[in-house]
Amino acid sequence: MRRWFLVRHGETEWNRVGRAQGQADPPLNQEGRAQAEAVAARLAPVAFEAAYSSDLRRAAETAAPVVRGRDTPIVHRRDLREKSFGEWEGITYEEVRRRYPAMLAELFDERPAFAPPGGESDLELFARAAGAAARIAGRHAGTDGNILVVSHGGTLRAIIVSTLGLPVESMWRIRLSNAGLSVITTFEEGGATIDLLNDTGHLGPGFDA
């Protein structure tokens, strides 16, 4: 049995204004840094066998406080990056809605083969994220320690649904907030359970999910 602690990165200014980030690399803003510290406090009692993060700054900066003072180095992985939004990266979703209304409808209409211009489809993201999770699991075969993964909303959705054996179309039915915590248990004989989904209690009662 292994428990996976999945954390979405904290807030960036691009999150705050509704700008498509994808694989662009903005850092956490002040709120995001505070959220990262709150995640660290929440997970302080948890011992981790290993810690993994996307190599993009907003994820790496969220993971750093969690492992501070531990003998658990963060492994930064390119395959844990967010879905690529191609030409849409850097513009707001309102601008996307004005410029590409039909394409935006496809993005949220559970059509997994659709990809933004120059970007990834949900099918490609699903395969990449599931592959990343499988490779991480393979590195820790035969152990039952806790694994920390700090990544992005799309990537973590893909990991969750692939681990639970759900279809790729279900990815966008899961809401993951900035600095939200989800926990999944996987079993050696196969199968998985979701023990916690998008918990934001550590961010305080005033947090707007």
pLDDT in tens, 3-32: 999 999 999 999 999 999 999 999 999 999
CATH of domain 2-203: 3.40.50.1240
Could you tell me if 83 and 125 are in contact, meaning their C-beta atoms sit under 8 angstroms apart? yes
CA distance linking residue 181 with residue 77, whole number of Å: 19
pLDDT tens sequence across 124-148: 999 999 999 999 999 999 899 999 9
For β-strands 181-186 and 147-151, DSSP reports them as: unpaired
Active-site positions?
Answer: 9, 82
CA-to-CA dists, residue 155 to 27, 81, 82, 118, 144, angstroms: 18, 7, 6, 18, 23
Length of the chain: 209
3-state SS class at 184 = strand
Whole-structure pTM value: 0.95
CA distance linking residue 198 with residue 65, whole number of Å: 19
Token pair recorded at residue 146 = 């806790």
